[in-house]
Chains A and B, each alone.
Chain A
Amino acid sequence: MRRTAAVWAGKATGALSRLSGRGGGTTLPGDVARAIDPLVLRKLTADLTEGSVVITGTNGKTTTARLVASLLEGLGKRVIANRAGANLIFGATAAALRSAGPDGRLRAEWGVFEIDEASLPRAVDEIQPRAAVVLNLFRDQLDRYGELEKIATTIESALARLPEGATAILNADDPRVGEIGLGLARKPLWFGLEDPRVAMPTLPHAADARTCPRCGASLVFTAVYLGHDGVYRCPNGDFERPATDIAATDIVLNGFDTVQMNVGATRVNLPVGGLYNAYNALAAFATGQALGLEAEYVAERMGEFKAAFGRQERMDFRGRHLVLVLSKNPAGFNETLRTAVDLANATHFLIGLNDRKADGTDVSWIWDVDFERLRGKAQVVVPGGTRAEDLAVRLKYAGVEADKPQIDPAKALDELVAATPEGTTAHVLCTYTAMLDIRAELVRRGWAKPYWET
Chain B
Amino acid sequence: MARKQKFTVGWLYPDLMNIYGDRGNILTLLKRAEWRGYQARVIELGRGTTGGMDEVDVFFFGGGQDREQALVYDDLLEHKQEPLEKSVAAGAMVLAVCGGYQLLGHYYQTAEGERFPGIGMIDVKTEAGKKRFIGDVVIDAAIEGLQPATLVGFENHSGRTFLGNAARPLGKVRLGSGNNGSDGTEGCLQGGVLGTYLHGSLLPKNPQLADYLVRRALTRRGVTALSPLDDSAELAAHDRILQRAQPRATTR
Q: Which residues of A contact B (CB under 8 A)?
A: 139, 142-143, 146-149, 205, 208, 210-211, 216, 218, 361-368, 387, 389-390, 392-394, 396-398, 405
Interface of chain B residues 51 through 73 with chain A (CB within 8 A): 65-68, 71
- Looking at the complex, which one of B19, B47, B199, B240 makes contact with A139 (CB distance below 8 Å)? B19
Assess the B47–A218 pair: CB atoms within 8 A.
Answer: yes
A362–B233 touching, CB < 8 Å: no
A139 contacts across to B, CB distance below 8 A: 19
Tell me the complex Cα distance, A364–B31, Å: 18
- B234 interface hit (Cβ, 8 Å): yes
Closest to B240 in A: A389
Q: Shortest CB–CB separation between residue B242 and chain A, in angstroms?
A: 11
Question: Which B residue's beta carbon lies closest to that of A395?
Answer: B233
Cβ-defined contact, B236 with A392, below 8 A = yes
- Lowest 3 CB-CB distances: which A-B pairs, in order? A364-B21, A367-B24, A367-B21
Selected from A146, A210, A364, the residue in CB contact (under 8 A) with B199 is A364
Bound-state Cα–Cα, A396 to B28, Å:
10
Residues of A within 8 A of B7 (CB): none
A216 partner residues in chain B, CB cutoff 8 A: 71
| Contacts A148-B65, A218-B47, A392-B236 given; does A362 touch B205 at CB 8 Å | no
The residue from B66, B135, B136, B201 contacting A149, defined by CB atoms under 8 A apart: B66
Q: Does B15 make an interface contact (CB < 8 A)?
A: yes
Give the distance in Å from the alpha carbon of A73 to the alpha carbon of B19 in the complex. 41
User: In the complex, A440→B71 CA distance in Å?
Assistant: 47
A216→B73 CA distance, assembly (Å): 13
Report 23 cross-chain contacts, Cβ distance below 8 Å, ordered by A residue: A139-B19, A147-B65, A147-B66, A149-B66, A205-B23, A208-B19, A211-B71, A361-B134, A361-B154, A362-B20, A362-B134, A364-B20, A364-B201, A365-B21, A367-B22, A387-B240, A389-B237, A389-B240, A390-B204, A390-B237, A392-B236, A397-B24, A397-B204
Spell out B's residues near A (CB within 8 Å).
15-16, 19-24, 27-28, 31, 46-47, 65-68, 71, 132, 134-136, 154, 156, 199-201, 204-205, 233-234, 236-237, 239-240
A142 touches B23 (CB 8 A): no
B residues near A142, Cβ cutoff 8 Å? 19-20, 156
In the complex, chain B residues whose CB is within 8 Å of the CB of A368: 21, 23
Contacts of B205 in A (CB 8 A): 390, 393
A423 to B234, CA, bound (A): 35
Say how far A214's CB is from chain B's closest CB, in angstroms: 12
Q: Which residues on the A side are within 8 Å of B67 (C-beta)?
A: 149, 211
Task: List chain B residues, Cβ under 8 A from A148.
Answer: 65
Known contacts A139-B19, A362-B154, A364-B20; 19 further A-B pairs (Cβ under 8 A): A146-B132, A147-B19, A147-B65, A149-B67, A210-B16, A362-B199, A364-B21, A364-B154, A366-B21, A367-B201, A368-B21, A387-B240, A390-B205, A390-B237, A393-B205, A393-B237, A396-B233, A397-B28, A397-B31
